[in-house]
Amino acid sequence: MKRLVLIVLLGIVAGCSSREVQKSESSGVSVSIQGIIDPAREVYESLHQYAIRAKSLSADGAITLKQGSSSQSGSFELKSKRTDASGVRVDSLSMIVSGPFGITAAKFLGSPKEYAFINVIQGEHYRGKPDPKTIEEMTGMKGLTIEALSNVIYGLAPDLGQLVPLDSVLLRSLKKDEHLLFVRRVRTGITEMMRLRGILGNGSPLSLTEYQRWNSLVPLTTSSMPSADFAITYEGAISTDKYRLPNYIRAKSAGRELEVEYRNVKQNPDPLTVKIKIPE
């Protein structure tokens, strides 16, 4: 039960997809934006700058986990503070998951330094440091962090860190308003793909509709990518008041399928306190 509920809480940011990235039907890397020398890095930087708008979130909705022939559904209440007033990342998150008839099933409170979890149904309490190794032991998924989860619940790519000189970036346009942005990070040994919708170079932010990640360095010149270690799909937009928040977040992993649906949201509510009473 501990693992199942934590997968619901943390599995949003991970999924193993059997799909391969579509081969570009365009001219591959020959994407140009007037006045921009390196369009791929310019697009990546625009995603990074747009993410600054996502500061905090208060929301509720529905959550469903499917595995094999079984399916479990419930509701959740979420509070998240991604950055403080000065823009510094804090990534504080609280989540209450309720089952049928509104019965509270689990509570989770996390930050980059510590997490606290209570399985209300079985009366189990857990505390610890949410490092990737600990989260992998709890969920069976490699490479998860609280920071990545914090990004995903806002409809952002899990890793939006600044590019460094050894990083490679490739932009492929499938259509006028559909693009694939690949990032190869040598320092951390990962490769990412972001599927974006929107017109390049018109000043409007591009919408992220899909994210895939490989825990290895994949050549960006390959015409067909292997199956991803993580895969996330974002659909719809429940709100664009401060930043684009998707209606649905979907993930698949080793026969497991997770769906999160937002219903009521408040973007960048001020003030916002993130806390849950966790018994000692």
Q: Is 280 exposed, middle or buried (0-12, 13-18, 19+ CB in 10 A)?
A: exposed
- pTM for this entry: 0.81
pLDDT of res. 210: 96
Average pLDDT of the chain is 80
Q: What angle do CA 63, 236, 12 make, to 5 degrees?
A: 35
Q: What angle do CA 75, 78, 80 make, to 5 degrees?
A: 165
What homologous superfamily is domain 2-267 in, according to CATH? Lipoprotein localisation LolA/LolB/LppX (2.50.20.10)
Strand partners, 212: 193, 231
Say whether 13 sits in a helix, a strand or coil.
helix
User: In this structure, are residues 40 and 176 in contact, taking their beta carbons and an 8 Å threshold?
Assistant: no
**Structural domain boundaries in the chain:** 2-267
pLDDT value at 268 more than 90: yes
Residue predicted with more confidence, 253 or 128: 128
pLDDT tens digit string along 20-42? 333 333 333 333 334 445 789 88
Q: What is the CA radius of gyration of the chain?
A: 19
Q: How far apart are CA 210 and CA 191, in angstroms?
A: 14
Place of tokens 């890397």: 29
